[in-house]
Amino acid sequence: MKHHPRSLRTAVVASTLAAIALASACATEITPPEDSGGIAGTGPAAGSGAGGHAGAAVTGGTGGSTGGSAPAGTGGAVGTGGAMGGTGGSTGGAGGTTGGAGGTTGGAGGTTGGTSGGVGGTVGSGGSSKGGASTGGSGAMGGAAMGGRAAGGRGAGGVSSGGAGTGGTSSMAGSSGTGSSGTSSTLDCANVPAMPTGGQTHTSGQGGSDNLAWQIWSNAGSGQLTTFTGVPAFSASWNNSGNYLGRLGFEWGNKPQKFDAFGTISADFAESLTGNSGNQWSYVGMYGWSTNPCIEWYIIDDSFGKMPVNPGNCTNMSNSPLSVDGGQYTMCVRSTSGTGGDRCGGAAQWNQYYSIRHDNRKCGTISVTEHFKAWAAAGNDLGTLLEVKVLLEVGGGQGTANFAVANVSKTM
């Protein structure tokens, strides 16, 4: 075929223009759709442990001249309790300059509950678009301990920063209830100790020291008192002894004082009676003398007869009865000349103070000071104390009284 020069030039020019167009097309940047934000940069693996380390910045995909708005990337899944933080999700980089991947941090869980999952890094922002922040899942709860919440970081366009993970709060043991413990006697009336064996038998006089001071007295017939070394216990026996008294406790005859100078006085007692009082009076309880004025005093908790006993010609105090130690006591005053003397240096007449329980009691604690206070409140001065002792007194008959416990105490 014959070629024409003009036609050839035309073909060459067309070919050249096509080549240029093709080259230009290859050099033009492809702009991704607005919702994809270009090719996402990949963040590094999540930090582990409490707090974690920040992820390093990663260069985003090749962006167009202006990146579209990108939706927030999805954080990584929450790790299960007990495991370390989960791996952060990939960040969706926006078109434009480099978008950093937020470092993921797995907060340490509570002591019992296990750790909370790591949080995915947040989307870096490209151009004017800003990545949304991801929120870490709450830690697992185990028993009473709650795992902490790990907060993911926010990645800013061009600069990535790993969020600081917040460690879980430690578990706290439940507080013990607290309770107030009540004051009580050491005496257990359901388990009274057995009577000691051996001992020393006395037929008259007095002796001992501290709260083991003893005394026996009678105005006729015979009687005995048995005491035990180092043990606050005694046994009394009588045989037509007339008025018989056996007692054990504190003796302050050489240095008497007002009752409140001795602190709080109380006594534990446990007794058993056999025999009789010859249809005369019988008293089990506390006893003593005081001077200035001369007073003989009684706190009566038991008797061979039915309580309350009647000492005769006794005038009730203005504040009677007294409620104490789980019972009621009639408080009264009577005048007497006695049946065989006194401890006040030869008084011809003196007063007796009584607290008489309304029901028989063979074991328990006697709050002696509470009786003294009640007497004083009614205007009955006790003077200075010579003694405070556990007592057995009978007006006749024959029998035995065993005090497995006769423990008088005082506390300041």
Active site residues: 296, 393
- Per the listing, tokens 């009076």 go with 281
C-alpha distances in Å from residue 319, one per residue of 258, 351, 380 = 21, 18, 11
Task: List the one residue out of 281, 275, 249 whose CA is nearest residue 402.
Answer: 275
Task: List the one residue out of 409, 378, 386, 75 whose CA is nearest residue 266.
Answer: 409
DSSP symbols for 258-300: -GGGG-EEEEEEEEEEEE--TTS-EEEEEEEEEETTTEEEEEE
Task: List the one residue out of 240, 394, 388, 217 whose CA is nearest residue 303.
Answer: 394
Angle subtended at Cα 277 by Cα 280 and Cα 407, rounded to the nearest 5 degrees: 115
Phi, psi of 388 (to 5 degrees): -140, 110
Helical H runs in 84-233?
none
- Per the listing, tokens 């790591």 go with 118
166 vs 152: CA distance, rounded Å: 9
CA 133 to mean position of chain CA atoms: 46
